[in-house]
């Protein structure tokens, strides 16, 4: 899929419609620069979606706590958050592996598909700086590789997941808006409900499952705890014990959890259940 990303430029509805007609299917605004949120970020998301484009976002990690990058991204997107196809953790300024991991896990805990944006020039230094004592092979990569070729042919970097996106042209002007040009693997963009995070509750066999923008909650009591903490709100779906009890790994608190089995069972349920 052809994609454009942008930071401080404003993308009007007419501009987004023009880009969509040219075959650009995805717009990725900067939600947090590490210092501030670009003023047009939310309007850019609204206009892109109104023009029929998919939307995503990226947030920069640096010396600040990972929670800052996560929370600033959520706040910047506002109501558009639930529509974002993915969030990229931008790793191109000084930070730590722990901060990157916390940001990735934090976004996944919010039900978002996540990738890491970086470039070989920075990532290779990052590996040397920390002696390679980390592993992000579970996180797809969106890599800067300014060869001007939209082919998704950038080599995979060490300790990173498969290359799902390539930024092949840096800042340039399209219709009065400064953008970068990208290609993304369609399978990454179209991936639905396969990336699940499991958060264990305080009591036995209480779990919350997150996938894409939907949450599945095992225990009504656990749900009440989360609502009281302000972590979830109205509109989240509760799955019956009948469904979760069909997954043996879930029956034993603290035992192994088969995420693929959960994903398959939930998808099967929501194909026929009116709560979908």
Domains of the chain: 2-190 (3.20.20.80), 196-272 (no CATH)
pTM of the model: 0.73
pLDDT digits (tens, 9 = 90+) for 146-165: 999 999 999 999 999 999 99
Q: Report the candidate in 48, 87, 60 with the shortest Cα–Cα distance to residue 188.
A: 87
Give SS3 for 170. Answer: strand
pLDDT digits (tens, 9 = 90+) for 89-141: 999 999 999 999 999 989 988 889 999 999 999 999 999 999 988 999 999 99
Q: Where are the beta strands (DSSP E) in the chain?
A: 2-6, 26-32, 54-55, 57-60, 87-90, 114-119, 141-144, 163-174, 177-184, 196-200, 207-211, 214-217, 237-238
């Amino acid at each position: 899929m052809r994609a454009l990303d942008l930071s401080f430029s404003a993308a009007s509805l007419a501009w987004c419609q023009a880009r969509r007609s040219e075959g650009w299917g995805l717009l990725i605004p900067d939600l947090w620069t590490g210092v501030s949120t670009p003023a047009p970020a939310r309007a850019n998301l609204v206009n892109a979606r109104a023009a029929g484009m998919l939307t995503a976002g990226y947030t920069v990690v640096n010396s600040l706590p990972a929670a800052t990058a996560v929370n600033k991204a959520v706040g910047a997107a506002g109501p558009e958050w639930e529509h974002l196809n993915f969030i990229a953790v931008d790793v191109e300024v000084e930070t730590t592996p722990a901060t990157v991991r916390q940001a990735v896990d934090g976004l996944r805990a919010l039900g978002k598909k996540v990738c890491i944006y970086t470039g070989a020039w920075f990532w290779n230094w990052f590996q040397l700086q920390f002696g390679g004592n980390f592993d992000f092979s579970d996180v797809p990569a969106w890599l800067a590789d300014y060869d001007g070729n939209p082919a998704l042919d950038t080599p995979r970097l060490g300790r990173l997941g498969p290359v799902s996106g390539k930024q092949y042209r840096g800042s340039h002007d399209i219709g009065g808006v400064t953008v970068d040009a990208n290609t993304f693997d369609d399978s990454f963009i179209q991936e639905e409900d396969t990336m699940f995070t499991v958060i264990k509750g305080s009591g036995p066999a209480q779990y919350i499952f997150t996938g894409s923008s939907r949450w599945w909650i095992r225990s009504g009591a656990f749900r009440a705890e989360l609502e009281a903490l302000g972590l979830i709100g109205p509109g989240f779906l509760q799955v019956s014990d009948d469904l979760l009890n069909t997954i043996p790994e879930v029956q034993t608190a603290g035992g192994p959890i088969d995420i693929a089995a959960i994903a398959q069972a939930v998808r099967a349920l929501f194909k026929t259940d009116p709560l979908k």
